[in-house]
Amino acid sequence: MISDRVRVRFAPSPTGYLHVGGLRTALYNYLFAKKNNGSFILRIEDTDRARFVEGAVENLIDTLKWSGLTIDEGPGNEGAYGPYTQSERLSIYQEQTQKLIDSGNAYYCFCSKQRLEEMREERKEQGAQPVYDKHCLHLSKDQIKSNIDSGLPYVIRLNVKPGEKIYVNDLIRGNIEFDSSTVDDQVLMKSDGYPTYHLANVVDDHLMKITHVIRGEEWLPSTPKHVLLYKFFGWEIPGFAHLPLLLNPDRTKLSKRQGDVAVEDYRSKGYLKEALINFVALLGWNAGDDREFYYLSELVENFSLERVNKAGAVFNLEKLDWLNAEHLRAKDNADLLKLLRNELKINPEVEDDFTDEYLVQVIEAMRERVKFVKEIVDTGIYFFTPPVNYDEASVAKNWKSDSAVNLSLLNEKIAELENPVKDDFENALRHAAVELSTGAGKIIHPLRIALSGVSGGPGVFDIAYILGKEECMRRIKRAIDKLG
């Protein structure tokens, strides 16, 4: 019997990395569970040994943990229905497969790969569905025993009866009807003794009391096989919800050929987990209004499967970048300080010996100007190390024949300041401009070059105040020496 309490699972295969589509599946399962006070289970489906990648399980768990999707049960967090790794459950699948054989709902198949290929080609030429022709269904018990005793490789197939209607009630797509004549006698148990996805996921979902199966649209054609398995076992069928495809901007299926598809890639590029989760949530779901900025707790509060679209969702990188900037600006200084220190740690140009107070000033100056924390370092490198070179275009435009003289006087004015605040630097410059009978602009632009080496960035007096009196004076003198 299915549990009265909502229980959902995310069941990835450990094939190397977590696809952003996989993250969305995990997220929607998590949101549905938490909205309904249910449980979110992680199950590792590692029965395809040919595609298994060493270390992938640990990577999956680490990525989910990073994203904030805390599991209630799974590897390393065992519950009452483990083990949660399919390769540790082989005896369970063998026992359940035998039940299907005994009831006539599954059978041994000894066909060679060559025969299967020839049969499928022949059926295609005849215009028939390229499904298995049930050649081995009617083998006698003696034939089966003889084949097994002689070591002949075999698989075990689902026995699909032709001419029947199979109904799937999908929570997103409504009622869907399938003709059993188009459904293959799916292999349930492979010749290596490992189950296929189809058998293992149905058995596990039942034994783990999964109430709702929320997964990608690509599994919809397989669902009639799963419904038949539930019926053959005499088990209650869970609710199904098949999520829309993720699409490239040209509306082709999202693929690595057109950009990054691994969550790890976005993490390493500096995207905030809050922004990525927010973005992925909106790939196929909305709350029925124009709101786009969400925290995870707010997604839980607003989520419902009824608001998930059927149509494919376009992966718009510009929107992700915008959300990253919005989440960055919404973070408090303490959070950004930790992230900034991490960036400084991995930057070879910088030695992080800065005080928290100094870095918070840099954060406040740069917050509105960047989309990523790493851009605080990349575009504001002058806050962390003096400029070695000066932007040529800016020098050509703004460093004039009198700039050295103007800045020399400004340096004298700065030297007279005691514990200066931002306005003191501005007043010093304006007093220098008056004495020189020149416009403040003729000093401001060269000052920016001297302090930062570039033409853009926060206000020049903000930069001066953050760097402090002594550092400003050193940089001005160095620029005069170098640029003349």
Ordered per-residue pLDDT tens for the chain, 484 residues: 566 799 999 999 988 889 999 999 999 999 999 999 999 999 999 988 778 788 889 999 999 999 999 999 999 999 999 999 999 999 999 999 999 999 999 999 999 999 999 999 998 888 888 889 999 999 999 999 999 999 999 999 999 999 999 999 999 999 999 999 999 999 999 999 999 999 999 999 999 999 999 999 999 999 999 999 999 999 999 999 999 999 988 898 887 766 678 999 999 999 999 999 999 999 999 999 999 999 999 999 999 999 999 999 999 999 999 999 999 999 999 999 999 999 999 998 888 899 999 999 999 999 999 999 999 999 999 999 999 999 999 999 999 999 999 999 999 999 999 999 999 999 999 999 999 999 998 999 999 999 999 999 999 999 999 999 999 999 999 999 999 8
Give residue-wise pLDDT tens across range 243-284: 999 998 889 888 776 667 899 999 999 999 999 999 999 999
Whole-model pTM: value is 0.92
The residue extents of the domains of the chain are: 1-73+244-330, 93-189, 332-381, 386-484
Complete DSSP assignment for 129-175: ------TTTT--HHHHHHHHHTT---EEEE-PPTT-EEEEEETTTEE
Among 22, 2, 28, CA closest to 306: 28
Architecture of domain 1-73+244-330: 3-Layer(aba) Sandwich (3.40)
Rg (CA), the chain: 32
* Omega before residue 83 within 30° of 0, cis: yes
Three-class SS of residue 178? strand
Q: Is the dihedral of CA 334, 339, 345, 348 positive or negative?
A: negative
Instruction: For residue 308, give the nearest of 338, 340, 286 by alpha carbon.
Output: 286
Q: How is the beta sheet containing 212-216 ordered, strand by strand?
A: 174-179, 165-170, 239-243, 212-216
Catalytic residues: 256
Q: Which CATH class is domain 93-189?
A: alpha beta
Fold of 332-381: Helicase, Ruva Protein; domain 3 (1.10.8)
DSSP characters for 448-464?
A: HHHHHSSS-SS-HHHHH
pLDDT of amino acid 260 = 78
- For domain 386-484, give the fold: Arc Repressor Mutant, subunit A (1.10.10)
Q: 326 Cβ partners below 8 Å, 6+ apart?
A: 275, 293
Token pair of 301 as six digits: 């509060």
